[in-house]
Amino acid sequence: MNIRQVAKAAGVSSATVSRVFTRSAPVDPQTEHRVHKAAKQLGYFPNTYARILSSGKSYTYGLIISDITNPFFPDLVKLFERHALEYDYETLVVDTDYDLKRMEQCVRRLLEHKVDGVAIMTSEMEPKLIQILSRRDIPLVFLDTGKVGRNISNITIDYEHGIALAIDHLLQLGHERIALIQGPPTLKSAVTRRNAFISSLKRQNITLRREYIRTGNHGVDGGQAAMNELLDLPSPPTAVMCSNDLTAIGALDAAYTRGVQVPSELSLIGFDDIQLSGLMQPPLTTIRVSRVEIALRAFMALYDAIPGSRKRTANHIIATELIARRSTAPPPKPSGESQSTKHTVGVRSAQNKN
Amino acid sequence: MNIRQVAKAAGVSSATVSRVFTRSAPVDPQTEHRVHKAAKQLGYFPNTYARILSSGKSYTYGLIISDITNPFFPDLVKLFERHALEYDYETLVVDTDYDLKRMEQCVRRLLEHKVDGVAIMTSEMEPKLIQILSRRDIPLVFLDTGKVGRNISNITIDYEHGIALAIDHLLQLGHERIALIQGPPTLKSAVTRRNAFISSLKRQNITLRREYIRTGNHGVDGGQAAMNELLDLPSPPTAVMCSNDLTAIGALDAAYTRGVQVPSELSLIGFDDIQLSGLMQPPLTTIRVSRVEIALRAFMALYDAIPGSRKRTANHIIATELIARRSTAPPPKPSGESQSTKHTVGVRSAQNKN
DNA sequence: CTGTTAGCGCTTTCAC
DNA sequence: GTGAAAGCGCTAACAG
């Protein structure tokens, strides 16, 4: 079943059939109708590959993520694909597995598929590969790691604001011994969060102890390990800000395992607001970064881009918001011993449903 | 950059270059080397679409899932893709969103992409669509919902065994008041589990009360609702078997919300062993069905299939195993009074590490 | 082992 | 508004 058979059946040329299906040129309503009828009758639909081959446009976007198994991504993928489908684009999703070597293969695959644009949603990144893409005038959009330029848009998450929100929340609850489990120092986004944490504390005149900054890996195991280190401290923190939710989940697990009650003895706050977080016991207080927004911006950045141009290239800022659930509460009352605390905040406002 | 330029640069014909890249026919090592050199120098790689168009094979498999956002699937997708990539196949993943109407569009998309085979991993299914696929001699493999036949393989999960394992576990702990939160009665796999539950109990001479069977939706909310119904019963169960892990997570949440301690007052057991389950508090006891195995069998079923033939078509059985974690424990000691008081159990034995 | 050649099914000038 | 015809880049006989 091909375009010519339809053409014959409708008594027109294949060019006309093509025009009908691609809407690339006006066609007489009469003939259009005949074509549609013939097509339906024959059960015809265009061959994607032939179409791509001859048009030179693949109508597909590459979507590079770290790992579909990381709960941050499925949402994003699904949302992105939804937009793409709406505009008749396909999405080719590739996992880097957090590995820059594999990223190279990914880019290669995308190139083979002649993608019309690439959204790079990983937190790690390889400048060399960007060049490869960029040199071919393929529109690019980064999550957080790119610089706006020719063909390149970027989506910036307002980490600073998010972290400030979190710290304020903790401060209002009365915490002073606040620790951080940071992400891998190799990730720009993790460093940004770390810096925001430090400056937030400074701004509020809270002294930050060196030993209160630990390093995780943005995974559950890293959170567990770091939390254990924190709990081993002679004077452990009463609240811990985690670089992402997975880290917080690991921290929660470590606390639980050691019999430390969250939130009555220890407050925990995450970042991202993955679905899972709301299901933990207790549900995690976290900073939400809207995947809905990211997906939309990312798609639109590609769709609006004009290949080989600096026009229509932009930096988009994604807001962050505090989702107060039940993993945060006022710090435990001082037990009379040395570590005296000042604030006494009785109301566990964050425990209210919201 | 195309095959001809490489051919020219290497001083051979395009057919030879093609042979080198597809390994479709032996080529003199000398010339092969020259071709590779030329290709590398020119930065050449084959155009997927041209290749597909002329060969008539797309080297892509369709993978139909319900929802990438359901934690059961990302694993499966990733594993399947890994195998596919290894054999130089692409995977086109499509979500039905549990909707048979959308499934039709999915199949259409797969058809447009001329997939060489389709793995249907959804629990719902639409016979009409199967026909469409099957009539075109596209090899198919189902998870649990198919009948082996021409072009059709099936993967059967040994639910009976899994459920029996779960029930035995509960029985050994001393439970007698065992309830079930079943999945949607429209899903074959849910019904199978329900039946297995009933017959397991019968085999062990445990009386099953009618009100102990509740219906969820294989999602968290359904689990919550059903658990609440169960807890409202005058004589609530001491253990609940859930049709899948998401249901169990909902049940856990409901229990927690109402102050019912798991596992000291209530044992919960899930099904699937999604990653999340190990991270809950307490970590969920569950029946694991190996996604690793499913992905491998599914891919191989397609890869080994001979289009248009009944040969190499098979039913594969996937074993299930009990993963005993900490959401199950002996039932609370009867407190002497009939129904009136809630059980008072001091020791949270299951909280010990194991 | 290698070259020649005819398409794969569609889009896209370029005429009319 | 429509048709003719030239490819898009590759594969697959078929010769040699």
Number of other CB atoms surrounding residue B260 within 10 Å: 17
Sheet holding A152-157, edge to edge: A90-95, A60-65, A117-120, A140-143, A152-157, A315-318
Which residue type does A257 have? T
Q: Best residue in B3, B116, B245, B281 to probe A by mutation, most A CBs within 10 Å?
A: B281
Of A109, A82, A84, nearest to A94 by C-alpha is A109
Size of the A and B interface in Cβ pairs below 8 Å: 80
| CATH architecture for the domain at B48-157+292-318 | 3-Layer(aba) Sandwich (3.40)
Q: Which option is the CATH number for B159-289+320-352: 3.40.50.1820, 3.40.50.2300, 3.30.70.60, 3.40.1050.10?
A: 3.40.50.2300
Residues within 7 Å (Cβ) of strand D:
A 11-16, 19, 25-28, 30-32, 50, 53-54, 56; B 2-4, 14-15, 18, 21-22, 24, 44, 46-47, 50-51, 53-57
pLDDT for res A335: 61
* B335: CB partners within 8 A, 6+ apart: B341, B342, B343, B344
pLDDT for res B343: 40
Q: Would the CATH topology of B48-157+292-318 be identical to that of B159-289+320-352? A: yes
Beta strand extents in chain A (DSSP E only): 60-65, 90-95, 117-120, 140-143, 152-157, 178-182, 213-215, 239-242, 267-272, 285-289, 315-318, 320-323
CA distance B6 to chain A (A): 16
The ranges assigned to domains in chain A are: 48-157+292-318, 159-289+320-352
pLDDT for res B335: 61
pLDDT for res B344: 38
pLDDT for res A196: 94
Angle at A64 between CA A59 and CA A65, to 5 degrees: 140
CA distance linking residue B214 with residue B223, whole number of Å: 9
A69, B68: Cβ pair inside 8 Å?
A: no
State the nearest residue by CA to the C1' of D7.
A54
* A44: CB partners within 8 A, 6+ apart: A1, A2, A3, A5, A6, A38
pTM of the model: 0.90
Of chain A, the end-to-end C-alpha distance in Å amounts to 57
Tell how far CA B145 is from the center of its chain: 12
Give pLDDT < 70 ranges for chain B.
335-354
Prior bond of B263 cis (ω within 30°): yes
CA distance A208 to chain B (A): 30
Which residues of A fall within a CB distance of 8 Å from B48?
Answer: 112-114
B49, A252: Cβ pair inside 8 Å?
A: no
pLDDT for res A267: 98
Residue of B nearest to A58 (CA): B49
CA distance linking residue A315 with residue B203, whole number of Å: 65
Q: Using the structure block, give the residue that is written with the tokens 């199967």.
A: B130
Residue of A nearest to B67 (CA): A78
A112, B45: Cβ pair inside 8 Å?
A: yes
The beta-carbon neighbor of B53 closest among A50, A69, A220 is A50
The answer to whether the beta carbons of residues B269 and B169 sit under 8 Å apart is yes
The set of strand C positions with any atom below 7 Å of a protein CB reads 1-13
pLDDT for res A30: 92
Question: Each residue's pLDDT tens digit in chain A (354 positions)?
Answer: 899 999 999 999 999 999 999 998 999 999 999 999 999 999 999 999 999 999 999 999 999 999 999 999 999 999 999 999 999 899 999 999 988 888 888 998 999 899 999 999 998 888 888 888 888 889 999 998 878 888 899 999 999 999 999 999 999 999 999 999 999 998 888 999 999 999 999 999 998 899 999 999 999 999 999 999 999 999 999 999 999 999 999 999 999 999 999 999 999 999 999 988 998 989 999 999 999 999 999 999 999 987 776 777 899 999 999 999 999 999 998 764 444 344 333 333 333 333
Q: Best residue in A53, A274, A352 to probe B by mutation, most B CBs within 10 Å?
A: A53
Report chain B residues touching chain A, CB-CB < 8 A: 45-50, 52-53, 58, 67-69, 71, 73-75, 77-78, 81, 93, 95, 108, 111-114, 220, 249, 252-253, 256, 275-276, 279-281, 353
Nucleotide nearest to B4 (CA to C1'): D9
Residue of B nearest to A108 (CA): B45
Distances in Å between the alpha carbon of A257 and those of A13, A84, A250, B279? 73, 44, 11, 12
Which residues of B fall within a CB distance of 8 Å from A67?
Answer: 78
Residue of B nearest to A248 (CA): B279
Q: Is B17 left (phi over 0), alpha (psi -120 to 50) or beta?
A: alpha
A275, B69: Cβ pair inside 8 Å?
A: yes
Of B64, B49, B86, nearest to A60 by C-alpha is B49
